[in-house]
Amino acid sequence: MSQHTVVRSGPGAARGGSKGRTPLDAAAALIAEVTASEHRWQDRANCLGVDPDLFFPERGASTREAKTVCRGCEVRENCLEYAIDHSEKFGIWGGLSERERRRVRRERSFGQRRTGAA
């Protein structure tokens, strides 16, 4: 019996790409595919190519200009969720400052506790 079994099903099989691959190869390809798809939204962001310093203002400086860039962005929700999921502590993400994102996390946490208690 062979040490490596050839994978004939899974995400690569539908595209005909799994022929001759080991389970480890298939797993690595799936991880790479999932990771890439999680970040594809960044390629469509309004802030792509904008000076990053705009989104990381000095303490007390205006965030208005950065939030204006975010306002019409088609991936604003993806950006905000990324920042919340990764506990981004600095900068404007999804149109919100860290203080505003903390408020969103608290509200979500409070809502989950209320739902769980009912």
- Of the given ranges (25-29, 65-69, 85-89, 97-101), which has the lowest mean pLDDT? 25-29
Using DSSP, state whether 96 is helix, strand or coil: strand
93 secondary structure, DSSP code = B
In the chain, the N- to C-terminal Cα span, in Å, equals: 55
In this structure, the number of other CB atoms found within 10 A of the CB of residue 91 comes to 18
Per-domain boundaries in the chain: 1-39, 45-117
Give the type of residue at 63. T
Q: Which residues pair with 40 in a beta bridge?
A: none
Q: Is this model's pTM higher than 0.85 or not?
A: no
Residue 28: predicted pLDDT: 66
Q: What is the mean pLDDT of residues 9-38?
A: 56
Q: Bigger pLDDT: 37 or 66?
A: 66
Give the type of residue at 46. N
In this structure, the number of other CB atoms found within 10 A of the CB of residue 30 comes to 13
